[in-house]
Amino acid sequence: MPVSTSPQGQPQWRLRTTKAQWLGYLAWLAGISLFLLCWKVISDNTMWVFVEDAGRQGTDLISRMLPPEWTYAHQLWLPMWDTLNIATLGTALGIMMAFPVAFLAARNTTPHPLIRSLALTIIVSSRSINSLIWAMLLVTILGPGVLAGIIAIALRSIGFVGKLLYEAIEEIHPTPVEAIAATGASRMQVMSYGVLPQVLPAFAGISVYRWDINIRESTVLGLVGAGVLVCS
């Protein structure tokens, strides 16, 4: 019989009916059958010859990685600096565009529902396309180089920063906003003194977090020509 605990901490026993037992058995049977089916599909599409050789290949790879070959270090400093610049400039550009979009997307700061829908469309479109896809499109338009990488990082950052920021704006405490509005302050003054101080900590954290993500993403944009590609 299943047991639960009452609010007072006393155990409460419940009799499990035959129907409940059979439903539990059927749930377990369905779960096990689904697991076996998925395992069969994976097994049929796996080349086990390579899996059997995975240990030797992994050991060989690690043995060639360690110790590092420091003679190549002088070829990496400039690409690393360019990668950092791509991430930093792309993040800054993305934040500049995401900041007003977030205020237009938040329910408590948007001037009109249609404008909010447009802002949400921009955020969703930015988040739905990966940085590599943005980079491929921009390389086609602008040609290969660092500029395409910076704009790709920026366009990807709009959706990330905009979404988290507009959610933070919607969660602000309404009392300071109402108090400032009651003094006869304009809409811009209410934004500056009632909304902005409450979202600045979240905005700073979101910006730093996105910059950290962009540093990692900018390291692979060179694969499609939108950044720095180092060839040995």
| Structure confidence by residue, pLDDT tens digits, 79-121 | 888 889 999 999 999 999 999 999 999 998 898 999 999 999 9
Predicted confidence (pLDDT) at residue 206 exceeds the cutoff of 60? yes
What pLDDT is stored for residue 54 in this prediction?
A: 82
Residue 20: C-alpha distances to residues 23, 27, 151, 200, 206 (Å): 5, 10, 58, 53, 48
Q: Which two tokens stand for residue 12?
A: 């409460």
Q: Mean pLDDT throughout 45-56?
A: 81
Predicted confidence (pLDDT) at residue 161 exceeds the cutoff of 90? yes
Predicted confidence (pLDDT) at residue 209 exceeds the cutoff of 90? yes
AA identity, residue 193: Y
8 Å CB contact between 217 and 160: no
Predicted confidence (pLDDT) at residue 205 exceeds the cutoff of 70? yes
Q: What is the pTM of this model?
A: 0.71
Q: Mean pLDDT throughout 121-150?
A: 89
Of residues 13 and 170, the one with the higher pLDDT is 170
Predicted confidence (pLDDT) at residue 60 exceeds the cutoff of 70? yes
| Rounded Cα gap, residues 164 and 46, in angstroms | 39
Predicted confidence (pLDDT) at residue 3 exceeds the cutoff of 60? no
List the domains of the chain with CATH numbers: 14-64 (no CATH), 75-224 (1.10.3720.10)
Q: What is the pLDDT of residues 13-49, one digit of tens each?
A: 666 677 778 888 899 999 999 999 999 898 888 887 7
Compute the mean pLDDT over every residue in the chain, rounded to the nearest whole number.
86
pLDDT band per the 50, 70, 90 thresholds, residue 12: low
Residue 137: burial class (beta carbons within 10 Å; 0-12, 13-18, 19+): middle
Predicted confidence (pLDDT) at residue 157 exceeds the cutoff of 70? yes
Please state, for a pLDDT cut of 90, what percent of the chain lies above it.
37
Of residues 227 and 217, the one with the higher pLDDT is 217
